[in-house]
Amino acid sequence: MTTSNHDTIVVLDYGSQYSQLIARRVREANVFCELFSWSTPAETILALKPRGFILSGGPNSVYDHGAPTLPDYVLASGLPVLGICYGMQLLAHGRGGRVASSLKREYGPATLQINEPDNPLFKDWRLESDAEPNSQQVWMSHGDKVEHLPPGFRPLAHTDNSPFAAAADVDRRYYAVQFHPEVVHTPQGRLVLSNFVHHVCGCASDWTPANFIEEQVTAVREQVGNGRVVLGLSGGVDSAVAAALIHKAIGSQLVCIFVDHGLLRQGEAAQVVATFQREQGMKLVAVNAVEEYLESLAGITDPEQKRRIIGEKFVRIFEREANKLGQIDFLAQGTIYPDVIESAGKDKKDAHVIKTHHNVGGLPEDMDFELVEPLRLLFKDEVRQIGTALGLPDSLVWRQPFPGPGLAIRCLGEITWERLERLRLADDIFVSELRQANMLRQDTQQSFAVLLPVKSVGVMGDGRTYQEVIALRAVTTEDFMTADWARLPYDLLARVSRRIVNEVEGVNRVVLDITSKPPGTIEWE
């Protein structure tokens, strides 16, 4: 997609778990922003013509052997820079300041005392109380800290523990904060980022759903011309919004193909067909590929292998079905920004591959469609905004995310129809109970059942049972990159457990997953 007509901020990622949040906060301020590894080549970054840089935090000390550095082009560009945490230390270290090494981390809330309330960084701050006019809560998470500011910098704020919790070289437009403005625990943090991009970098507020839709409609029309596009509809938010957007751009040149791979949740396949064919009036081909998938997944237990098989099969079935449709030139996908980043795509060479999300990394290289991916640069909440702006119903737009490989990565161990049905039923009980308790939006952003590849002994009636285990997974998350386990009411958990053990044949035990991400991931595979 073209972004050259937007004022752009580049976030350089130094490995903080909050790096994506920084980018999201900037976009929430209606300014376009992209996240790149700090080691991305200068040409890639400068080609975007950024209006400013933000340096993220990270786990290193500037004194570590081989620690990530500040690339020369950043300061040479003469553009504004905001360093956060490690980013601050890099900025100070590189310009002649002193960073004190420390083994002791400062982690948690701190009270920021502002020395220069008139600095643009603090514009419009609602300060904590009249009694302490210049104080505000911020979130700290650091070991090292800046002990001496470099020449040209002056302190803007301090905490008990950090004499330079915020500092700036106002003339050069270099700003630095030791605290994390991107996290919710810094209540005025969004304003710091918004102030930086608007009042220091001078960016316009032109990153809006309406602009995005207009641009993408144009971009899709340009890319596609008179060609025809197929889109794999999964029923999830991303592919639905992509379909609606592309449909708006090219109408009946788009054909949606829905592959029922047998890995969907209860009742989902029928619902997808009803929604898109009847309600949205799109061209939709529904393919029953259940047998085919089951055959190729037989005996496979490795998660990455499951993903690869599913991803590859998906494209092959597409090709086959698309061939039946005559000339098809493009494959559209609902790939979104976190998929791209987490799959350690081409522009993030030093990130670890945690999981290969099948709609990105799992595509075979010999695929003979050109891709149309209008949501590739969007975060999930932006996708939802676009969906709403396109007139899609709330029930679809606010649907919890469901992974491309579906129940295959929640059915741990071998995938058989019987085990899938077991999992589907248990999952439906859990999700229905959550829906009934009205807990599916605010209280947990993703919740599902997982079928474990272990058996345990139980007793039912007077008999011994030796059956499978269901794990319940429910998380709260803002961005699916970090997550906490949802504190669900005991009564609800008790009801779910009782119902699963009684209603799902082959399951005699229910456990609750209480792992946050990190160190866990949301899915079990």
Active-site residue set: 85, 180, 182
Determine if 308 is a binding residue for ligand XMP (CB under 6 A): no
Among 53-61, 198-206, 400-408, 502-510, which window interacts with ligand XMP (CB under 6 A)? 400-408
Determine if 482 is a binding residue for ligand XMP (CB under 6 A): no
Q: How far is the CB of 403 from ligand XMP (least distance, A)?
A: 3
Task: Show the CA angle centred on residue 123, arms to residues 117 and 125, nearest 5°.
Answer: 80
What is the contact mask toward ligand XMP in residues 231 to 250, using x (rule: CB under 6 A)? --------------------
Determine if 521 is a binding residue for ligand XMP (CB under 6 A): yes
Determine if 355 is a binding residue for ligand XMP (CB under 6 A): yes
Give 40 or 359: the residue with its C-beta nearer to ligand XMP: 359
Determine if 304 is a binding residue for ligand XMP (CB under 6 A): no
Give 224 or 340: the residue with its C-beta nearer to ligand XMP: 340
Number of neighbours of residue 341 by Cβ within 10 angstroms? 21
Q: How far is the CB of 446 from ligand XMP (least distance, A)?
A: 5
What is d(CA 241, CA 212) in angstroms, rounded to the nearest whole number?
Answer: 13
Q: How far is the CB of 249 from ligand XMP (least distance, A)?
A: 23
DSSP string, 393-447: -HHHHTPPP--TTGGGGTB-S---HHHHHHHHHHHHHHHHHHHHTT-TTTT-SEE
Interface pick for ligand XMP out of 359, 444, 447, 497 (rule CB under 6 A): 359
Category of 267 on φ-ψ map: left (φ > 0), alpha (ψ -120 to 50) or beta: left
Determine if 358 is a binding residue for ligand XMP (CB under 6 A): yes
Determine if 517 is a binding residue for ligand XMP (CB under 6 A): yes
Q: Are 231 and 242 in contact (CB under 8 A)?
A: yes
Determine if 313 is a binding residue for ligand XMP (CB under 6 A): no
Fill in the amino acid letter for 193.
Answer: L
Among 169-177, 318-326, 424-432, 514-522, which window interacts with ligand XMP (CB under 6 A)? 514-522
Give 83 or 405: the residue with its C-beta nearer to ligand XMP: 405
Tokens of 427: 């999952």
Q: How far is the CB of 272 from ligand XMP (least distance, A)?
A: 16
What is d(CA 158, CA 156) in angstroms, rounded to the nearest whole number?
Answer: 7
Q: Are 256 and 276 in contact (CB under 8 A)?
A: yes
Interface pick for ligand XMP out of 404, 415, 426, 470 (rule CB under 6 A): 404
Fill in the amino acid letter for 420.
Answer: L
Tokens of 77: 């560009």
DSSP string, 155-181: EEEE-SS-TTSEEEETTTTEEEESS-T
What is d(CA 256, CA 70) in angstroms, rounded to the nearest whole number?
Answer: 46
Q: How far is the CB of 480 from ligand XMP (least distance, A)?
A: 4
Query: Whats the size of the chain, residue-wise?
Result: 525
Q: How far apart are the first and last CA of the chain?
A: 32
Q: How far is the CB of 307 from ligand XMP (least distance, A)?
A: 5
Binding residues for ligand XMP, per CB under 6 A? 307, 355, 357-359, 401, 403-405, 446, 480, 517, 521-523
